[in-house]
Amino acid sequence: MQETEPWAVAGPARRRNRRRRRIAIRGWVALGALVAVALTAGGGVLAYENTLPTSVGLNLKNGVKDVPVYSHLVFTFSRPVALSVLGPAFSITPTTDGTLTGASGQTQYEWAPAKPLADITTYTVTVSPLTDLSHHRVPGGQWTFTTNIVPRITAVTGAGGAALVDGSEIDPGTPLTINFNDAMDPATIKVTIGTNPADLKWTAENRSATISTKGMPSGPLVLSMAPGGSDQTGHHVPGAFTLKTGIYYHDREHTTALKYPALIQVPNDYYARDQNGLQAADVVFEYLAEGGITRCTAIFQNAPDVIGPMRSSRFISLKIARHYEGLLFQSGESQATASAAAADPVPQFFDTIGYTYRTNARYAPDNLMISGSGVKAAEVNYFSNIPPFALPKARPELSGGTGAATVTVDEHYSVYNYDPVMGTYQKTEEGHPYQDASLGQPLRIEMVIVIHTAERLVNVGDGHGAHIHDFDLDSGGAVGIYYKGQGYSGSWSAPNGHGPLIFKLDSGQVVTLPPGLVWIDVTA
């Protein structure tokens, strides 16, 4: 057998190995070429994208309709943008107040309207061209959208169409009108006034309804509308509505505002009744003078056009003037009262031509009168140095009282009867029902207070043995408070000789004096 030489065997193997190496090399070269091409293409894409402007999009499609009026606008940018640059570039028409804030980093911003957008209105939103944080151009954009309608109460109005808000008050018998922004389906609207269903009187177009308050008792009043009602096209009321108002008597006569209180001495004898201007008083103190006749000190923060008659002061008048930090107006005073005033002075204004006047409509001496403008002129021209002071007034929220439809004050021969519709007491003294002579209407008293204190008789030193009543108005004592037909027991105090009296219930609750006329009977 013929042997094969080694070199003859190795030759073909080497050739095959060389061939494999050449193929591998070509593969790696091809792969490298592919990688190079890929890398070159990616860089090209990145380079290309870097030349593109920054885009901006809106969360609402351009031209969309039926957009909820509570919608917010959200802008999304493809690159970061500064809020300080976006703000001036953003606009919306019709012009609407709102707030633009960052929503996600510096690529997303949200605009929230300050109040619901207008119903069925086409808005145009514009972002003017600007530059992003990487100095790329942002061409901006413009979009339009149209809102839908959300049926709701736009206003509740009282007398003369005046809109009511929480805390507003209406006069007894004033009708309330509920105004809607759309024609409603009356059968779906459920309104309560207080705790009772309201009897709604709808207008022909069903865009407003009226509620009568005639005969409703005075006091706080809550008007509510439940959710779920709808307009005539099926849009639903989104939530409940509540208005906290109240029915109270208000004195609507013309008055002159004062820098500080005017305390005016008003007689209360047979010939002085009925007096002018008492309805406009904030507080009236009534007390025995002499001979079983009472006198009043009427305190005004706003003076009506006619006040009077005016008579002389008493010891207690000076004390009231100190507590209520005002100017005491009077016709004169006895030597005993003048001596008391000198010992602890209070500002006083006496009968002065050009400020006070005598009327022929009354018998002297109960015919000295003063006008609101005269009161203000006296304060400005003679006592401008008295600092401003306003009587503290706020409607009290009292509980735990007992029925007090009738209040009797024997010491003053007075009876007070409560009128639940007006929410006020009417005063009768010695069988005479009180009126305000200027208004020709019954005197409406918001709160009656009967304070009990020490009383003594003081000899006026006239040589005839005349005495006047003096009352302690500083040491405190028991008190009866009557408000909205309810009676409460408590105490009064005067921690500061130059500050208003403080009234507390037995529970310790401080009682504020309500707006309107408060009548305080000072008794032994």
Q: What is the DSSP string of 259-296?
A: EEEEEEEEE-STTTPSPBSGGG-SEEEEEEEETTEEEE
Query: Could you tell me where the beta strands, DSSP code E, fall in 107-175?
Result: 108-113, 122-127, 130-131, 137-138, 141-147, 153-157, 169-170
pLDDT tens sequence across 3-61: 444 434 455 556 666 666 666 666 555 555 554 444 455 556 556 668 899 999 999 99
Orientation of helix 335-343 relative to helix 315-323, angle to 10°: 30
CA distance 329 to 258: 14
Segments in 419-487 forming alpha helices (H): none
Report the pLDDT value the prediction gives residue 58, as an integer from 0 to 100.
98
Residue-by-residue DSSP string for 368-416 = EEE-HHHHHHHHHHH-TTSPP-----------S-EE-SEEEEGGGTEEE
Residues 92, 99: contact at Cβ < 8 Å?
Answer: no
Model pLDDT, residue 17? 64
What are the chain's domains?
A: 56-147 (2.60.40.1220), 153-247 (2.60.40.1220), 253-524 (3.50.90.10)
Q: Which of 17-26, 222-231, 270-279 has the lowest mean pLDDT?
A: 17-26
Q: What is the pLDDT of residue 496?
A: 82
Give me 294's structure tokens. 């009472």
Using DSSP's 3-state secondary structure scheme, residue 126 falls into: strand
Q: Among candidates 317, 322, 320, 345, which has minimal Cα distance to 333?
A: 317
Q: How confident is the model at residue 337 (pLDDT cuts 50, 70, 90)?
A: confident
Q: What is the pLDDT of residue 334?
A: 81
Beta strands 368-370 and 327-329 are unpaired
Q: What is the pLDDT of residues 341-384, one digit of tens each?
A: 777 789 999 999 999 999 999 999 999 999 999 999 999 999 99
Query: Which burial class, exposed, middle or buried, applies to 421 when counting CB atoms under 10 A from its CB (0-12, 13-18, 19+)?
Result: middle
**Whole-number pLDDT of residue 34:** 52
pLDDT digits (tens, 9 = 90+) for 418-428: 999 999 999 99
Q: What is this structure's pTM?
A: 0.77
**For 487-517, how does the pLDDT look when each residue is reduced to its tens digit (9 = 90+)?**
999 999 998 888 999 999 999 999 999 999 9
